[in-house]
């Protein structure tokens, strides 16, 4: 059974009537709705989409209603799928108040972590912009922030989660679009990516070796989903992480429709995939979080899926540098041993990597419980970015 037949429509927990949206699921839906911005016709590209060069702006508008203090411009622009097909993608550009400095605001591009696979899961359709607290720290230092959604989030079509070529193109094409659509930006930019976005940031750094976009000053990469086969296998074995397996299976199906999630996941898990259609990460986690191991997975050795995971892993090829690679030692989603392997591989191929690990830091921050890598290491991130925009090389602060 293909994924398209397994997913439902609208805010339901599953395509199956016998799967109940429990209290945790209902709370996740309530949180998603409370944080949602209206998805307007702005996000609907022309049909058919007239071809244009990657990074060409389709439309732009001033946007308000976000919790991050900044002037916000919303962009719809041309990007590319992993196979090179022209596709529309959305982004927001945030700039500090006041006039830009001489030469323009230096730019931090946010390659966001996993938010979900539905159109509603675009960070630009969330009041907090998903990483808004951290964006505010960059804005406070006088940087502009470009925040692409990834194609299929916000816009029509489907999100090819895990496809590194598509993700890297969405990021670099958002830079090109922002330069067209928002005045006052510097040509200098760094990419900052966490988790799924950490993998995307490394994919950008790989792409810069072959097809550079001018002005690039380096990448900040935190707890990256870099080694996809290891990441999926680890998530499948851990209670509470089943959502990530389902979302990667969904993304692999979008990238290659011959990859059938029903060959990868159990009938029970496939029966709950309706949550992927309109629920974001919190909802999908609530719906699938009780499944792990043989209750979640039939087999992860399906040949096409294995090829997809291998082809879209990052951290083994040489990257354009420098790279600041950060990992929490208490991370329960991307364990430290995975990022240790990435750091060794990158150093071994001659990439310029500054790798730092942090005792006690988790994957994400849960107030009152744990501190995530981006919040716990933000002082080091800001210092490193400042040095990159100051023209000096990477190294410890």
DSSP letter assigned to residue 37: P
The predicted structure's pLDDT at residue 14? 40
Beta partners for residue 395, in sequence order: none
The predicted structure's pLDDT at residue 21? 86
On the question of pLDDT at 13 being above 50, the answer is no
- In CATH terms, the fold of domain 37-227+315-390 is Rossmann fold (3.40.50)
* Stretch among 17-26, 238-247, 253-262, 321-330 having the lowest mean pLDDT: 17-26
On the question of pLDDT at 6 being above 90, the answer is no
> 383 in helix, strand or coil?
helix
Confidence of residue 278 (pLDDT cuts 50, 70, 90): confident
The predicted structure's pLDDT at residue 395? 33
On the question of pLDDT at 164 being above 80, the answer is yes
226-252 burial: b if 16+ Cβ within 10 Å, else e: bbbbbbbebbbebeebbbbbbbbbbbb
Which residues, in sequence order, are CB contacts of 62 under 8 Å at separation 6+?
Answer: 71, 72, 73, 74
Tens digits of per-residue pLDDT, 40-84?
A: 999 999 999 999 999 999 999 999 999 999 999 999 999 999 999
How far is the CA of 280 from the CAs of 30, 203, 236, 257, 260, in angstroms? 11, 24, 19, 22, 21
For residue 20, what are its two tokens?
A: 């109940």
pTM attached to this predicted model? 0.93
The predicted structure's pLDDT at residue 355? 98
Which regions of the chain carry the CATH code 3.40.50.1820? 37-227+315-390
The H-or-E segment that residue 175 falls in is helix 164-181
The predicted structure's pLDDT at residue 59? 98
The predicted structure's pLDDT at residue 5? 32
What is the end-to-end Cα distance of the chain in Å, rounded? 53
């Amino acid at each position: 059974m293909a994924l398209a037949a397994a997913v439902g429509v609208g805010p339901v927990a599953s395509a199956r009537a016998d799967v109940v949206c429990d209290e945790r699921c209902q709370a996740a839906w309530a949180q998603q709705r409370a944080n949602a911005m209206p998805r307007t016709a702005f996000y609907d590209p022309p049909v058919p989409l007239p071809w244009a060069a990657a990074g060409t702006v389709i439309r732009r508008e001033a946007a308000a209603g976000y919790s991050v203090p900044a002037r916000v411009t919303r962009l719809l622009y041309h990007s590319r799928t992993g196979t090179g097909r022209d596709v529309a993608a959305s982004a927001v550009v945030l700039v500090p108040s006041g006039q830009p400095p001489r030469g323009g605001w230096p730019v931090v591009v946010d390659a966001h972590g996993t938010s979900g696979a539905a159109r509603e899961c675009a960070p630009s359709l969330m009041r907090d912009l998903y990483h808004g607290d951290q964006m505010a720290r960059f804005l406070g230092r006088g940087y502009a922030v470009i925040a692409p959604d990834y194609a299929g989030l916000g816009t029509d079509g489907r999100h090819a989660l895990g496809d590194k070529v598509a993700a890297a193109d969405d990021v670099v094409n958002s830079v090109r679009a922002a330069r067209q659509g928002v005045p006052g930006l510097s040509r200098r930019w760094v990419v900052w990516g966490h988790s799924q976005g950490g993998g995307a940031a490394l994919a950008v750094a790989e792409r810069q070796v072959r097809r550079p976009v001018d002005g690039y000053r380096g990448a900040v990469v935190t707890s990256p989903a870099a080694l996809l086969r290891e990441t999926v296998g680890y998530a499948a074995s851990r209670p509470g992480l089943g959502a990530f397996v389902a979302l990667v299976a969904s993304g692999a199906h979008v990238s290659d429709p011959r990859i059938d999630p029903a060959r990868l996941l159990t009938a029970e898990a496939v029966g709950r995939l309706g949550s992927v259609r309109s629920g974001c990460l919190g909802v999908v986690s609530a719906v699938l979080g009780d499944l792990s191991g043989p209750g979640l997975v039939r087999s992860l050795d399906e040949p096409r899926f294995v090829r997809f995971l291998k082809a879209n892993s990052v951290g083994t090829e040489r990257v354009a540098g420098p790279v600041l690679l950060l990992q929490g030692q208490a991370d329960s989603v991307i364990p430290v041993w995975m990022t240790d392997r990435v750091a060794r591989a990158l150093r071994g191929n001659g990439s310029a990597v500054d790798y730092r690990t942090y005792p006690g830091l988790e994957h994400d921050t849960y107030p009152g419980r744990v501190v995530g890598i981006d919040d716990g290491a933000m002082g080091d991130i800001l210092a490193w970015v400042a040095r990159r925009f100051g023209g000096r090389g990477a190294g410890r602060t």
